[in-house]
Amino acid sequence: MGQRVAYVEAPSGIAGDMLLGALVDLGLPVAVLEDVATRLGVDGLSVRAERVDKNGLSAVQVDVLLDGRRVGAAAHAHDKEHTHDHDHAHGHEHTHDHGDEPHEDRHHVHAHEHGHVPHHHLADVRRLL
């Protein structure tokens, strides 16, 4: 059987976990994702995929785990007040758009500690594949 190609048209973007879940739902073996996680060389990194039902819709949810805990955007919610305490530099800014909230509600502190895993860039990942 020849190589299969999937085209994703996502003019507004797509979340990585949603894309991985869709690919697994279409037949990508979870073992492929587990192999990529292993080849990244980060101790304790793993992938979990499970079928979920949310609001009557069935899908595959994929989580990236570090030592059994979710990592990435899904684990980084801004539901609580927190402060930014970083003792290292990294290449992204933390911005918060709070839309049309009343002016007095916009005055709150955003800071948090990151449990960062080693960063890998797209070129690093491509070399592994």
Closest CA to 83 of 119, 114, 118, 116: 114
Say which range, 3-7, 21-25, 36-40, 123-127, has the weakest mean pLDDT.
Answer: 123-127
Q: Which pLDDT does position 109 carry in this prediction?
A: 55
Is 31 inside a domain boundary? yes
Q: How many domains does the chain have?
A: 1
Is 11 inside a domain boundary? no
Q: What is the mean pLDDT of residues 82-93?
A: 56
Dihedral, CA of residue 15, residue 84, residue 75 and residue 29, to nearest 10 = 60
Write out the residue range of the structural domain in which residue 79 sits. 16-128
Residue with tokens 């595959």: 60
Q: Which pLDDT does position 35 carry in this prediction?
A: 94
Q: Which pLDDT does position 112 carry in this prediction?
A: 52
Is 2 inside a domain boundary? no
Q: Which pLDDT does position 128 carry in this prediction?
A: 72
Is 116 inside a domain boundary? yes
pTM, rounded to two decimals: 0.54
Q: What is the mean pLDDT of residues 98-108?
A: 52
Is 9 inside a domain boundary? no
Is 30 inside a domain boundary? yes
> Three-state SS for 24?
helix
Q: Which pLDDT does position 81 carry in this prediction?
A: 52
Say which range, 33-37, 43-47, 79-83, 93-97, has the weakest mean pLDDT.
Answer: 79-83
- Backbone region of residue 12 per phi and psi (left: phi > 0; alpha: psi in -120 to 50; beta: other values): alpha
